[in-house]
Each structure stands twice: as C-alpha cells, then as structure tokens.
Amino acid sequence: MIMKFNRAALHASAVFFAVLLTGCQTSPNTEKEPTPEPQVQHSTEAEREAARLQQCQAELEALRTVQPKMFTGYKQEFDRLMNGAAQYAGLRTQVNTETQDTVDALYRYRVNKLCAQINQAVLLGLAEHGESAQ
C-alpha cells in the first residue's frame, strides 16, 4: 500500500515538475497578437519533459534490480529533488523573473544530470551482468 502511494506521489510530482519547468520558460514577446501555435508547442514540450521524467523513474526502478546498492542513493536523491521542486513551485510566483529563470535552469540541470547518472548506472550494471554471464 505504501509502495503504491509512494510511486503515485513520485509520478505526480514528476509530471508536476515537468509541467512547472516547461511552463515557466519565458521568452520575449515580439508579436502584437499571440498565436495558437506556441500553446501546441508548449504542451508538446511539457509532454516530452514528463515522458523523460517517467523514463528516468523507470530506469531508477530498473536500477533496483540491476544494482541494488546504488539504487538507494539515487532514489533518495531523486526524491529530494522532486520534493525541492514541489516546494519551489509553491514559492515561484513570489520571486522575480530573473530568479525564476535561474532556479528553473538549476532544477532542469539537476534533473538532467541525475537522470544521466541513473541511466549510466543501469547501463554499467547491465554490461557487468552481460560480461559475467559469458
């Protein structure tokens, strides 16, 4: 029961985090009237970001089997990052645009870096298992 709740909470925070960061990007508006195309692109970008976070979460779960000792550390770091993002989301509207841009970029970097590390750990674990099977 707790595992299902925790997984659902992580999934929800990952999707929320993806939507938060992709929705937070600012760009100078040089047009006088908004066009509907950026909204379509925006939702597609949010969907891609959410899919990347879900993939990262799936690779983290794979790490539990492939390299159980490494799983715990990465899981704790992932949870900390998602909790921090959720906390930031509550405060984000209270800070200026420059701070938002900076912190958005920081979270994007931290998520990308952590997911790359998780991916690499899974790849190395699978390679080690493949080599030991020969």
pLDDT per residue over 69-102, tens digit each?
999 999 999 999 999 999 999 999 999 999 999 9
| DSSP secondary structure of 70-129 | HHHHHHHHHHHHHHHHHHHHHHGGGS-HHHHHHHHHHHHHHHHHHHHHHHHHHHHHHHHH
| DSSP secondary structure of 30-79 | --SS--SHHHHHHHHHHHHHHHHHHHHHHHHHHHHHH-HHHHHHHHHHHH
Give, in order, the Cα–Cα distances in Å from 69 to each of 17, 73, 77.
Answer: 27, 8, 14
User: What is the per-residue pLDDT for 87?
Assistant: 96
* Residue 66 pLDDT > 90: yes
Domain ranges of the chain: 57-134
* Residue 8 pLDDT > 90: no
Which two tokens mark 62? 């794979």
* Residue 6 pLDDT > 80: no
pLDDT tens digit string along 32-59?
Answer: 555 555 556 667 888 998 999 999 999 9
Whole-model pTM?
0.71
User: What is the per-residue pLDDT for 18?
Assistant: 57
Burial-class residue 46 by CB neighbours within 10 Å (0-12, 13-18, 19+).
middle
User: What is the per-residue pLDDT for 132?
Assistant: 79
How far, in Å, CA of 74 to CA of 124, rounded? 15
User: What is the per-residue pLDDT for 7?
Assistant: 55
How far, in Å, CA of 66 to CA of 63, rounded? 5
